[in-house]
Amino acid sequence: MLADELKKQAPPGFDEASLRIGRIIGAESSKRVAWTGLREVLVCHQAHGLAFPDGLDRQLFAQICDYDAWLWHQLYGKMEFCRASFSAGVQRIYTYLSGIPEGTTTHKLSLFSAHDNSLVAFANALQLQVPRVIPPYGAMLIFEVFRHRVTGEFYLKTLFEGDEVTFARDLTLRHVLIFHRHGDRTPVLTSIGSKVQQTQEETDFWASKVATPEQIELLQQTAKAIGADPSQPPTIRPSKESQFPYGLLTQKGVEHMTAKGRKFRERYGDFVGGNVKTEDVHVLSSSVPRTIESVQSLLRGFFYEGQNTQIKVPQFYVHTYTHNVLAPNHPLQVFNEIELIVHDDVVSLRSKIERGAMEKLSLHLRECLGVPEDQPLSWTAVRDALTCREAHGWPFPEGVDQKIFEQVTVYDTWLWQRLYHRKDFCHGAFKDGVKEIYAYLKSVVNNQKEVAKLSFFSAHDNSIVALLGALQIDVGAQLPEYGTAVTFEVHEDVATHEFYIKPFYEGEVVSFAGHHNDPFCPFSHFESLALEFLTVKA
Protein backbone atom coordinates (compact mmCIF):
# COMPACT_ATOMS: atom_id res chain seq x y z
CA MET A 1 0.00 0.00 0.00
CA LEU A 2 1.33 3.44 -0.96
CA ALA A 3 2.20 5.72 1.96
CA ASP A 4 0.99 9.32 1.74
CA GLU A 5 4.48 10.76 2.14
CA LEU A 6 5.78 8.47 -0.61
CA LYS A 7 2.97 9.47 -2.94
CA LYS A 8 4.02 13.12 -2.60
CA GLN A 9 7.45 12.16 -3.99
CA ALA A 10 6.01 10.12 -6.86
CA PRO A 11 7.45 10.54 -10.35
CA PRO A 12 5.94 13.27 -12.56
CA GLY A 13 2.68 12.24 -14.20
CA PHE A 14 1.88 9.53 -11.67
CA ASP A 15 -1.40 11.03 -10.43
CA GLU A 16 -3.07 11.19 -13.84
CA ALA A 17 -1.82 7.73 -14.86
CA SER A 18 -2.85 6.14 -11.55
CA LEU A 19 -6.38 7.54 -11.78
CA ARG A 20 -6.73 6.15 -15.29
CA ILE A 21 -5.33 2.76 -14.28
CA GLY A 22 -7.49 2.68 -11.16
CA ARG A 23 -10.64 3.21 -13.23
CA ILE A 24 -9.66 0.44 -15.63
CA ILE A 25 -9.00 -2.18 -12.95
CA GLY A 26 -11.75 -1.00 -10.59
CA ALA A 27 -9.57 0.48 -7.83
CA GLU A 28 -10.90 3.60 -6.10
CA SER A 29 -7.53 5.29 -5.55
CA SER A 30 -3.81 4.74 -5.99
CA LYS A 31 -3.70 3.27 -2.49
CA ARG A 32 -5.93 0.42 -3.68
CA VAL A 33 -3.68 -0.50 -6.62
CA ALA A 34 -1.42 -3.47 -5.90
CA TRP A 35 1.28 -2.19 -8.22
CA THR A 36 3.60 -5.18 -7.96
CA GLY A 37 0.80 -7.69 -8.41
CA LEU A 38 -0.61 -5.76 -11.37
CA ARG A 39 2.80 -5.49 -13.01
CA GLU A 40 3.50 -9.18 -12.45
CA VAL A 41 0.23 -10.20 -14.11
CA LEU A 42 0.84 -7.93 -17.10
CA VAL A 43 4.45 -9.12 -17.51
CA CYS A 44 3.22 -12.70 -17.69
CA HIS A 45 0.44 -11.75 -20.10
CA GLN A 46 2.91 -10.02 -22.40
CA ALA A 47 5.47 -12.84 -22.22
CA HIS A 48 2.93 -15.45 -23.27
CA GLY A 49 0.78 -13.51 -25.72
CA LEU A 50 -2.28 -13.02 -23.54
CA ALA A 51 -4.31 -9.85 -24.08
CA PHE A 52 -4.15 -7.00 -21.56
CA PRO A 53 -7.39 -6.01 -19.78
CA ASP A 54 -9.58 -3.73 -21.89
CA GLY A 55 -8.32 -0.16 -21.76
CA LEU A 56 -4.76 -1.05 -20.70
CA ASP A 57 -2.36 -0.30 -23.54
CA ARG A 58 1.42 -0.67 -23.81
CA GLN A 59 2.00 2.94 -22.78
CA LEU A 60 0.16 2.39 -19.50
CA PHE A 61 1.94 -0.95 -19.06
CA ALA A 62 5.28 0.87 -19.36
CA GLN A 63 4.13 3.46 -16.80
CA ILE A 64 3.07 0.69 -14.40
CA CYS A 65 6.49 -0.97 -14.75
CA ASP A 66 8.33 2.33 -14.29
CA TYR A 67 6.32 3.32 -11.24
CA ASP A 68 6.58 -0.08 -9.55
CA ALA A 69 10.33 -0.06 -10.19
CA TRP A 70 10.52 3.40 -8.62
CA LEU A 71 8.65 2.07 -5.57
CA TRP A 72 10.98 -0.91 -5.23
CA HIS A 73 14.11 1.23 -5.38
CA GLN A 74 12.61 3.74 -2.95
CA LEU A 75 11.87 0.88 -0.57
CA TYR A 76 15.21 -0.91 -0.80
CA GLY A 77 17.03 2.42 -0.98
CA LYS A 78 16.01 2.97 2.65
CA MET A 79 19.04 1.48 4.41
CA GLU A 80 17.12 0.50 7.55
CA PHE A 81 14.65 -1.57 5.54
CA CYS A 82 17.30 -2.99 3.23
CA ARG A 83 19.53 -3.92 6.14
CA ALA A 84 16.68 -5.60 8.01
CA SER A 85 15.52 -7.60 4.99
CA PHE A 86 18.77 -8.51 3.22
CA SER A 87 21.76 -8.14 5.55
CA ALA A 88 22.25 -11.92 5.55
CA GLY A 89 22.40 -11.97 1.76
CA VAL A 90 24.95 -9.15 1.62
CA GLN A 91 27.01 -10.80 4.35
CA ARG A 92 27.07 -14.08 2.42
CA ILE A 93 28.31 -12.47 -0.81
CA TYR A 94 30.82 -10.29 1.04
CA THR A 95 32.24 -13.28 2.93
CA TYR A 96 32.53 -15.26 -0.28
CA LEU A 97 34.28 -12.50 -2.27
CA SER A 98 36.59 -11.46 0.58
CA GLY A 99 37.70 -15.08 0.73
CA ILE A 100 39.36 -14.76 -2.70
CA PRO A 101 42.31 -12.57 -1.62
CA GLU A 102 42.45 -14.45 1.68
CA GLY A 103 42.75 -17.76 -0.19
CA THR A 104 39.72 -19.37 1.43
CA THR A 105 37.64 -19.13 -1.76
CA THR A 106 39.25 -21.14 -4.56
CA HIS A 107 36.46 -21.52 -7.13
CA LYS A 108 36.92 -19.96 -10.56
CA LEU A 109 33.20 -19.52 -11.09
CA SER A 110 30.34 -19.11 -8.66
CA LEU A 111 26.60 -18.81 -9.25
CA PHE A 112 24.10 -17.40 -6.77
CA SER A 113 20.51 -17.95 -7.90
CA ALA A 114 17.98 -15.58 -6.35
CA HIS A 115 15.05 -13.26 -7.05
CA ASP A 116 14.27 -9.86 -8.54
CA ASN A 117 14.05 -8.19 -5.15
CA SER A 118 17.31 -9.87 -4.12
CA LEU A 119 19.08 -8.04 -6.95
CA VAL A 120 17.38 -4.72 -6.16
CA ALA A 121 18.24 -5.03 -2.46
CA PHE A 122 21.84 -6.02 -3.16
CA ALA A 123 22.40 -3.19 -5.66
CA ASN A 124 21.00 -0.61 -3.24
CA ALA A 125 22.97 -2.03 -0.32
CA LEU A 126 26.23 -1.59 -2.25
CA GLN A 127 25.08 1.72 -3.80
CA LEU A 128 25.67 0.40 -7.30
CA GLN A 129 24.69 2.71 -10.17
CA VAL A 130 22.42 0.16 -11.84
CA PRO A 131 19.28 0.84 -13.89
CA ARG A 132 16.35 1.84 -11.69
CA VAL A 133 14.25 -1.01 -13.06
CA ILE A 134 12.92 -4.29 -11.74
CA PRO A 135 15.32 -6.94 -13.05
CA PRO A 136 13.71 -9.00 -15.84
CA TYR A 137 13.78 -12.79 -15.83
CA GLY A 138 17.37 -14.04 -15.92
CA ALA A 139 18.92 -10.66 -15.10
CA MET A 140 22.48 -10.97 -13.81
CA LEU A 141 24.75 -8.93 -11.59
CA ILE A 142 28.33 -10.11 -12.20
CA PHE A 143 31.44 -9.45 -10.14
CA GLU A 144 34.75 -10.07 -11.91
CA VAL A 145 37.75 -10.24 -9.57
CA PHE A 146 41.17 -9.26 -10.97
CA ARG A 147 44.63 -9.39 -9.43
CA HIS A 148 47.42 -7.01 -10.44
CA ARG A 149 50.40 -9.08 -11.59
CA VAL A 150 52.96 -6.69 -10.14
CA THR A 151 51.42 -5.30 -6.95
CA GLY A 152 49.23 -8.27 -6.11
CA GLU A 153 46.30 -5.93 -5.35
CA PHE A 154 42.78 -7.15 -6.10
CA TYR A 155 40.22 -5.23 -8.18
CA LEU A 156 36.51 -5.69 -8.67
CA LYS A 157 34.67 -5.06 -11.93
CA THR A 158 30.88 -5.05 -11.71
CA LEU A 159 28.46 -5.63 -14.59
CA PHE A 160 24.68 -5.54 -14.74
CA GLU A 161 23.27 -7.36 -17.74
CA GLY A 162 26.65 -7.11 -19.47
CA ASP A 163 27.10 -3.37 -18.92
CA GLU A 164 29.74 -2.13 -16.51
CA VAL A 165 28.35 -0.28 -13.51
CA THR A 166 30.10 1.69 -10.81
CA PHE A 167 29.86 2.26 -7.11
CA ALA A 168 28.98 5.72 -5.81
CA ARG A 169 31.26 8.38 -7.36
CA ASP A 170 32.97 11.46 -5.91
CA LEU A 171 31.12 14.18 -7.81
CA THR A 172 31.17 17.92 -7.25
CA LEU A 173 28.53 20.39 -8.43
CA ARG A 174 29.84 22.86 -11.03
CA HIS A 175 26.76 24.61 -12.42
CA VAL A 176 22.97 24.74 -12.11
CA LEU A 177 20.78 25.65 -15.09
CA ILE A 178 17.11 26.39 -14.33
CA PHE A 179 14.73 26.46 -17.31
CA HIS A 180 11.35 27.61 -16.05
CA ARG A 181 7.88 28.73 -17.03
CA HIS A 182 6.65 32.20 -16.06
CA GLY A 183 4.34 32.72 -13.10
CA ASP A 184 0.57 33.17 -12.83
CA ARG A 185 -0.80 35.51 -15.49
CA THR A 186 -4.02 36.97 -16.79
CA PRO A 187 -5.66 35.21 -19.78
CA VAL A 188 -3.97 35.23 -23.19
CA LEU A 189 -6.43 33.43 -25.45
CA THR A 190 -9.52 35.46 -24.60
CA SER A 191 -11.77 34.49 -27.52
CA ILE A 192 -13.28 31.07 -26.89
CA GLY A 193 -16.78 31.44 -28.36
CA SER A 194 -19.59 33.85 -29.22
CA LYS A 195 -21.27 33.25 -25.86
CA VAL A 196 -18.14 34.14 -23.88
CA GLN A 197 -17.16 37.71 -24.74
CA GLN A 198 -14.95 40.02 -22.73
CA THR A 199 -17.02 42.54 -20.78
CA GLN A 200 -15.78 45.76 -19.23
CA GLU A 201 -16.44 44.21 -15.83
CA GLU A 202 -14.15 41.28 -16.59
CA THR A 203 -11.48 43.52 -18.11
CA ASP A 204 -11.51 45.64 -14.96
CA PHE A 205 -11.30 42.46 -12.88
CA TRP A 206 -8.14 41.30 -14.64
CA ALA A 207 -6.67 44.80 -14.50
CA SER A 208 -6.96 44.63 -10.72
CA LYS A 209 -4.92 41.41 -10.67
CA VAL A 210 -1.79 42.44 -12.60
CA ALA A 211 1.45 43.06 -10.69
CA THR A 212 1.45 46.39 -8.85
CA PRO A 213 3.85 49.27 -9.64
CA GLU A 214 5.43 48.73 -6.21
CA GLN A 215 6.15 45.08 -7.03
CA ILE A 216 7.57 45.95 -10.45
CA GLU A 217 9.87 48.60 -8.95
CA LEU A 218 11.42 46.03 -6.60
CA LEU A 219 11.87 43.57 -9.46
CA GLN A 220 13.63 46.14 -11.62
CA GLN A 221 15.95 46.98 -8.74
CA THR A 222 16.83 43.28 -8.52
CA ALA A 223 17.61 42.73 -12.20
CA LYS A 224 17.80 45.00 -15.23
CA ALA A 225 16.43 43.89 -18.61
CA ILE A 226 19.00 44.35 -21.38
CA GLY A 227 19.63 43.13 -24.91
CA ALA A 228 22.23 40.52 -25.83
CA ASP A 229 24.75 42.55 -23.78
CA PRO A 230 24.58 45.55 -21.41
CA SER A 231 25.22 48.01 -24.23
CA GLN A 232 21.98 47.04 -26.01
CA PRO A 233 18.39 47.89 -25.00
CA PRO A 234 16.05 45.01 -24.17
CA THR A 235 13.76 43.47 -26.75
CA ILE A 236 10.28 43.50 -25.22
CA ARG A 237 7.33 42.50 -27.37
CA PRO A 238 4.49 42.74 -27.22
CA SER A 239 4.59 45.72 -24.88
CA LYS A 240 2.57 45.67 -21.67
CA GLU A 241 0.61 48.71 -22.81
CA SER A 242 -0.49 47.09 -26.08
CA GLN A 243 -2.07 44.07 -24.39
CA PHE A 244 -3.13 45.43 -20.99
CA PRO A 245 -4.52 43.77 -18.92
CA TYR A 246 -4.14 40.43 -20.74
CA GLY A 247 -1.18 38.07 -20.79
CA LEU A 248 0.51 39.88 -17.90
CA LEU A 249 2.12 38.59 -14.71
CA THR A 250 -0.22 38.95 -11.74
CA GLN A 251 0.42 39.97 -8.16
CA LYS A 252 -0.08 36.31 -7.31
CA GLY A 253 2.49 35.40 -9.95
CA VAL A 254 5.11 37.71 -8.43
CA GLU A 255 4.53 36.24 -4.97
CA HIS A 256 4.61 32.65 -6.24
CA MET A 257 7.81 33.09 -8.25
CA THR A 258 9.48 34.92 -5.36
CA ALA A 259 8.61 31.96 -3.12
CA LYS A 260 10.03 29.60 -5.75
CA GLY A 261 13.24 31.62 -5.67
CA ARG A 262 13.46 31.09 -1.92
CA LYS A 263 13.04 27.33 -2.44
CA PHE A 264 15.89 27.33 -4.95
CA ARG A 265 18.01 29.22 -2.42
CA GLU A 266 17.40 26.46 0.12
CA ARG A 267 18.89 23.95 -2.32
CA TYR A 268 21.58 26.00 -4.06
CA GLY A 269 22.30 28.94 -1.76
CA ASP A 270 25.43 27.37 -0.27
CA PHE A 271 26.67 26.46 -3.75
CA VAL A 272 26.36 30.04 -5.00
CA GLY A 273 27.89 31.41 -1.79
CA GLY A 274 27.51 34.73 0.00
CA ASN A 275 29.88 36.98 -1.93
CA VAL A 276 27.88 36.85 -5.15
CA LYS A 277 28.91 38.84 -8.23
CA THR A 278 26.89 39.81 -11.28
CA GLU A 279 28.82 37.35 -13.45
CA ASP A 280 27.97 34.47 -11.09
CA VAL A 281 24.41 34.47 -12.44
CA HIS A 282 23.46 34.29 -16.12
CA VAL A 283 19.87 35.08 -17.10
CA LEU A 284 18.14 34.82 -20.47
CA SER A 285 14.44 35.52 -20.88
CA SER A 286 11.86 35.25 -23.59
CA SER A 287 11.10 38.79 -24.74
CA VAL A 288 7.58 38.77 -23.26
CA PRO A 289 7.06 41.03 -20.19
CA ARG A 290 5.67 38.23 -18.00
CA THR A 291 8.76 36.03 -18.47
CA ILE A 292 11.13 38.92 -17.69
CA GLU A 293 9.22 39.82 -14.53
CA SER A 294 8.98 36.16 -13.52
CA VAL A 295 12.73 35.61 -13.54
CA GLN A 296 13.21 38.93 -11.75
CA SER A 297 10.87 37.53 -9.08
CA LEU A 298 12.89 34.30 -8.85
CA LEU A 299 16.08 36.31 -8.40
CA ARG A 300 14.38 38.45 -5.75
CA GLY A 301 13.40 35.36 -3.80
CA PHE A 302 16.79 33.69 -4.21
CA PHE A 303 18.98 36.60 -3.13
CA TYR A 304 16.78 38.64 -0.79
CA GLU A 305 15.39 37.41 2.52
CA GLY A 306 12.53 39.92 2.41
CA GLN A 307 12.32 43.57 1.50
CA ASN A 308 15.98 43.89 2.48
CA THR A 309 19.01 41.66 2.84
CA GLN A 310 22.10 41.81 5.03
CA ILE A 311 24.23 40.48 2.16
CA LYS A 312 25.33 42.89 -0.54
CA VAL A 313 23.73 41.74 -3.78
CA PRO A 314 24.51 43.28 -7.16
CA GLN A 315 21.90 44.15 -9.75
CA PHE A 316 21.74 41.27 -12.21
CA TYR A 317 21.12 41.42 -15.96
CA VAL A 318 18.20 39.76 -17.74
CA HIS A 319 19.34 39.21 -21.32
CA THR A 320 16.85 39.27 -24.20
CA TYR A 321 17.46 38.54 -27.88
CA THR A 322 15.94 40.21 -30.94
CA HIS A 323 15.13 36.66 -32.07
CA ASN A 324 13.19 35.10 -29.21
CA VAL A 325 14.84 31.67 -29.09
CA LEU A 326 13.08 30.60 -25.87
CA ALA A 327 9.56 30.66 -27.36
CA PRO A 328 8.58 27.97 -29.90
CA ASN A 329 8.30 29.58 -33.31
CA HIS A 330 4.95 28.74 -34.86
CA PRO A 331 1.68 30.59 -35.58
CA LEU A 332 -0.77 31.08 -32.72
CA GLN A 333 -3.32 29.35 -34.95
CA VAL A 334 -1.59 26.05 -34.16
CA PHE A 335 -3.20 26.10 -30.72
CA ASN A 336 -6.63 26.31 -32.34
CA GLU A 337 -5.93 23.36 -34.63
CA ILE A 338 -3.87 20.91 -32.56
CA GLU A 339 -6.57 18.26 -32.73
CA LEU A 340 -6.57 18.45 -36.53
CA ILE A 341 -2.76 18.44 -36.76
CA VAL A 342 -2.43 15.26 -34.67
CA HIS A 343 -5.64 13.67 -35.93
CA ASP A 344 -3.83 10.50 -37.01
CA ASP A 345 -2.60 10.03 -33.42
CA VAL A 346 -6.10 10.66 -32.07
CA VAL A 347 -7.41 7.83 -34.24
CA SER A 348 -4.55 5.38 -33.75
CA LEU A 349 -3.63 5.92 -30.09
CA ARG A 350 -6.92 6.66 -28.36
CA SER A 351 -9.57 4.01 -27.80
CA LYS A 352 -13.01 4.22 -29.34
CA ILE A 353 -14.44 4.91 -25.87
CA GLU A 354 -12.00 7.79 -25.29
CA ARG A 355 -12.71 9.31 -28.71
CA GLY A 356 -16.45 9.04 -28.11
CA ALA A 357 -16.16 10.76 -24.73
CA MET A 358 -14.23 13.68 -26.24
CA GLU A 359 -16.69 14.03 -29.13
CA LYS A 360 -19.53 14.23 -26.61
CA LEU A 361 -17.62 16.79 -24.54
CA SER A 362 -16.82 18.79 -27.67
CA LEU A 363 -20.50 19.05 -28.59
CA HIS A 364 -21.35 20.19 -25.06
CA LEU A 365 -18.63 22.86 -25.06
CA ARG A 366 -19.65 24.15 -28.49
CA GLU A 367 -23.17 24.63 -27.17
CA CYS A 368 -22.06 26.29 -23.91
CA LEU A 369 -19.44 28.58 -25.46
CA GLY A 370 -21.00 29.30 -28.83
CA VAL A 371 -18.46 27.68 -31.16
CA PRO A 372 -19.93 26.88 -34.62
CA GLU A 373 -19.49 23.43 -36.18
CA ASP A 374 -17.40 24.75 -39.09
CA GLN A 375 -14.79 26.19 -36.69
CA PRO A 376 -12.23 24.09 -34.78
CA LEU A 377 -12.80 23.90 -31.04
CA SER A 378 -9.63 25.27 -29.44
CA TRP A 379 -9.09 22.98 -26.47
CA THR A 380 -6.06 25.08 -25.50
CA ALA A 381 -8.02 28.35 -25.46
CA VAL A 382 -10.75 26.73 -23.34
CA ARG A 383 -8.22 25.27 -20.92
CA ASP A 384 -6.34 28.56 -20.63
CA ALA A 385 -9.48 30.58 -19.94
CA LEU A 386 -10.72 28.10 -17.34
CA THR A 387 -7.28 27.89 -15.67
CA CYS A 388 -7.14 31.66 -15.18
CA ARG A 389 -10.73 31.84 -13.96
CA GLU A 390 -10.21 29.07 -11.43
CA ALA A 391 -6.97 30.62 -10.14
CA HIS A 392 -8.63 33.98 -9.45
CA GLY A 393 -12.20 33.04 -8.59
CA TRP A 394 -13.88 34.32 -11.76
CA PRO A 395 -16.87 32.06 -12.54
CA PHE A 396 -16.80 29.45 -15.29
CA PRO A 397 -19.18 29.93 -18.25
CA GLU A 398 -22.66 28.51 -17.72
CA GLY A 399 -22.70 24.75 -18.28
CA VAL A 400 -19.00 24.30 -17.49
CA ASP A 401 -18.01 22.83 -14.12
CA GLN A 402 -14.88 21.55 -12.40
CA LYS A 403 -15.23 18.06 -13.84
CA ILE A 404 -15.40 19.43 -17.38
CA PHE A 405 -12.37 21.63 -16.67
CA GLU A 406 -10.40 18.57 -15.56
CA GLN A 407 -11.46 16.61 -18.67
CA VAL A 408 -10.42 19.48 -20.95
CA THR A 409 -7.05 19.74 -19.18
CA VAL A 410 -6.30 16.02 -19.51
CA TYR A 411 -7.19 15.95 -23.21
CA ASP A 412 -5.35 19.16 -24.10
CA THR A 413 -2.30 17.86 -22.24
CA TRP A 414 -2.35 14.75 -24.40
CA LEU A 415 -2.73 16.84 -27.58
CA TRP A 416 0.21 19.07 -26.66
CA GLN A 417 2.48 16.13 -25.97
CA ARG A 418 1.57 14.46 -29.26
CA LEU A 419 2.29 17.71 -31.11
CA TYR A 420 5.63 18.62 -29.54
CA HIS A 421 6.89 15.05 -29.49
CA ARG A 422 6.74 15.03 -33.29
CA LYS A 423 10.39 15.57 -34.12
CA ASP A 424 9.79 17.38 -37.39
CA PHE A 425 7.34 19.84 -35.81
CA CYS A 426 9.39 20.31 -32.64
CA HIS A 427 12.59 20.81 -34.63
CA GLY A 428 11.02 23.50 -36.78
CA ALA A 429 9.53 25.27 -33.78
CA PHE A 430 12.22 25.00 -31.13
CA LYS A 431 15.60 24.08 -32.62
CA ASP A 432 16.98 27.51 -31.66
CA GLY A 433 15.92 27.05 -28.04
CA VAL A 434 17.54 23.62 -27.78
CA LYS A 435 20.67 24.96 -29.48
CA GLU A 436 20.87 27.77 -26.90
CA ILE A 437 20.62 25.37 -23.94
CA TYR A 438 23.03 22.83 -25.44
CA ALA A 439 25.61 25.48 -26.35
CA TYR A 440 25.45 27.00 -22.87
CA LEU A 441 25.91 23.67 -21.09
CA LYS A 442 28.69 22.78 -23.52
CA SER A 443 30.50 26.00 -22.58
CA VAL A 444 30.21 25.03 -18.91
CA VAL A 445 31.75 21.61 -19.54
CA ASN A 446 34.49 22.96 -21.80
CA ASN A 447 35.19 25.85 -19.42
CA GLN A 448 35.44 28.05 -22.49
CA LYS A 449 34.99 31.21 -20.46
CA GLU A 450 34.39 32.42 -16.93
CA VAL A 451 31.16 30.52 -16.46
CA ALA A 452 28.43 31.52 -14.04
CA LYS A 453 27.51 29.22 -11.17
CA LEU A 454 23.80 29.62 -11.75
CA SER A 455 21.76 30.30 -14.87
CA PHE A 456 18.06 31.00 -15.40
CA PHE A 457 16.20 30.62 -18.69
CA SER A 458 12.72 32.14 -18.41
CA ALA A 459 10.22 30.82 -20.93
CA HIS A 460 6.73 29.40 -21.52
CA ASP A 461 4.76 26.20 -20.98
CA ASN A 462 5.18 25.08 -24.60
CA SER A 463 8.92 25.88 -24.36
CA ILE A 464 9.19 23.29 -21.59
CA VAL A 465 7.07 20.71 -23.43
CA ALA A 466 9.21 21.22 -26.55
CA LEU A 467 12.48 20.99 -24.59
CA LEU A 468 11.39 17.77 -22.88
CA GLY A 469 10.35 16.29 -26.22
CA ALA A 470 13.58 17.34 -27.93
CA LEU A 471 15.83 15.89 -25.21
CA GLN A 472 13.58 12.84 -24.76
CA ILE A 473 12.83 13.39 -21.08
CA ASP A 474 9.63 11.64 -20.00
CA VAL A 475 7.70 13.38 -17.21
CA GLY A 476 4.38 11.66 -17.78
CA ALA A 477 1.08 13.11 -18.94
CA GLN A 478 1.16 16.65 -17.60
CA LEU A 479 1.54 20.22 -18.77
CA PRO A 480 3.89 22.61 -16.95
CA GLU A 481 1.99 24.68 -14.40
CA TYR A 482 2.96 28.27 -13.63
CA GLY A 483 6.57 28.42 -12.42
CA THR A 484 7.39 24.83 -13.39
CA ALA A 485 11.15 24.34 -13.63
CA VAL A 486 13.37 21.87 -15.45
CA THR A 487 16.74 21.91 -13.71
CA PHE A 488 20.03 20.60 -15.06
CA GLU A 489 22.76 20.13 -12.47
CA VAL A 490 26.24 19.83 -13.99
CA HIS A 491 28.57 17.64 -11.90
CA GLU A 492 32.24 16.83 -12.38
CA ASP A 493 33.95 13.61 -11.31
CA VAL A 494 36.84 14.74 -9.12
CA ALA A 495 38.99 11.77 -10.12
CA THR A 496 38.31 11.43 -13.86
CA HIS A 497 37.13 15.01 -14.63
CA GLU A 498 34.22 13.58 -16.58
CA PHE A 499 31.00 15.61 -16.53
CA TYR A 500 27.49 14.45 -15.74
CA ILE A 501 24.05 16.01 -16.07
CA LYS A 502 21.47 15.35 -13.37
CA PRO A 503 18.03 16.45 -14.64
CA PHE A 504 15.09 17.40 -12.42
CA TYR A 505 11.47 18.22 -13.16
CA GLU A 506 9.92 20.25 -10.36
CA GLY A 507 12.53 18.98 -7.94
CA GLU A 508 12.08 15.31 -8.83
CA VAL A 509 14.88 13.41 -10.58
CA VAL A 510 13.97 12.41 -14.14
CA SER A 511 15.98 10.69 -16.86
CA PHE A 512 16.94 10.98 -20.50
CA ALA A 513 15.86 8.30 -22.98
CA GLY A 514 18.40 5.50 -23.09
CA HIS A 515 19.80 6.31 -19.65
CA HIS A 516 17.53 5.17 -16.83
CA ASN A 517 20.21 3.35 -14.85
CA ASP A 518 21.67 6.31 -13.02
CA PRO A 519 20.41 9.79 -12.07
CA PHE A 520 23.80 11.16 -13.19
CA CYS A 521 23.80 11.04 -16.97
CA PRO A 522 27.17 11.31 -18.78
CA PHE A 523 27.37 14.61 -20.62
CA SER A 524 28.22 12.66 -23.76
CA HIS A 525 24.80 10.98 -23.67
CA PHE A 526 22.98 14.28 -23.18
CA GLU A 527 25.06 15.71 -26.03
CA SER A 528 24.15 12.84 -28.35
CA LEU A 529 20.43 13.46 -27.75
CA ALA A 530 20.78 17.21 -28.31
CA LEU A 531 22.74 16.74 -31.53
CA GLU A 532 20.35 14.04 -32.73
CA PHE A 533 17.52 16.55 -32.41
CA LEU A 534 19.44 19.48 -33.87
CA THR A 535 20.39 17.49 -36.98
CA VAL A 536 16.83 16.42 -37.82
CA LYS A 537 16.20 17.05 -41.52
CA ALA A 538 13.05 19.00 -42.28
Q: Tell me, letter by letter, the H, E, C secondary structure of 211-279.
A: CCHHHHHHHHHHEEEECCCCCCCCCCCCCHHHHCCCCCEEHHHHHHHHHHHHHHHHHHHHHHCCCCCHH
Name the pTM for this structure.
Answer: 0.76
Cis peptide before 522 (omega within 30 of 0): no
pLDDT value for 442: 96
Q: Tens digit of pLDDT for each residue in 149-200?
A: 877 888 888 999 998 888 777 899 999 999 999 999 999 977 788 999 889 9
- The pLDDT of 521-532, averaged and rounded, is 95
Q: Tens digit of pLDDT for each residue in 36-77?
A: 999 999 999 999 999 988 888 888 888 888 888 988 988 998
Q: Tens digit of pLDDT for each residue in 476-495?
A: 889 999 999 999 999 999 88
pLDDT value for 2: 44
| d(C-alpha 412, C-alpha 378), whole Å | 9
Q: Tens digit of pLDDT for each residue in 234-253?
A: 999 989 988 999 999 999 99
Please report which helix (H) or strand (E) contains residue 501, including its range: strand 499-505
**How many CB atoms sit inside 10 A of residue 370's CB?**
14
Question: Could you tell me the residue ranges of all domains in the chain?
Answer: 4-76, 79-168, 173-328+424-512+527-534, 333-416
- The pLDDT of 311-333, averaged and rounded, is 94
- The pLDDT of 413-422, averaged and rounded, is 95
pLDDT at residue 97 is higher than 60: yes
| d(C-alpha 292, C-alpha 247), whole Å | 13
Residue 5: band (very low, low, confident or very high) from pLDDT cuts 50, 70, 90 = low
Q: Are the C-beta atoms of 377 and 340 separated by less than 8 Å?
A: no
Indicate the CATH number for domain 173-328+424-512+527-534: 3.40.50.1240
- The pLDDT of 359-368, averaged and rounded, is 97
- The pLDDT of 404-421, averaged and rounded, is 96
Q: Which residues are 175's β-sheet partners?
A: 490
- The pLDDT of 453-473, averaged and rounded, is 97
pLDDT at residue 278 is higher than 70: yes
pLDDT value for 152: 83
pLDDT at residue 10 is higher than 70: no
pLDDT value for 137: 95
Mean pLDDT over all residues of the chain?
91
186-to-170, 206, 404 alpha-carbon distances in Å: 46, 6, 21
pLDDT value for 4: 56
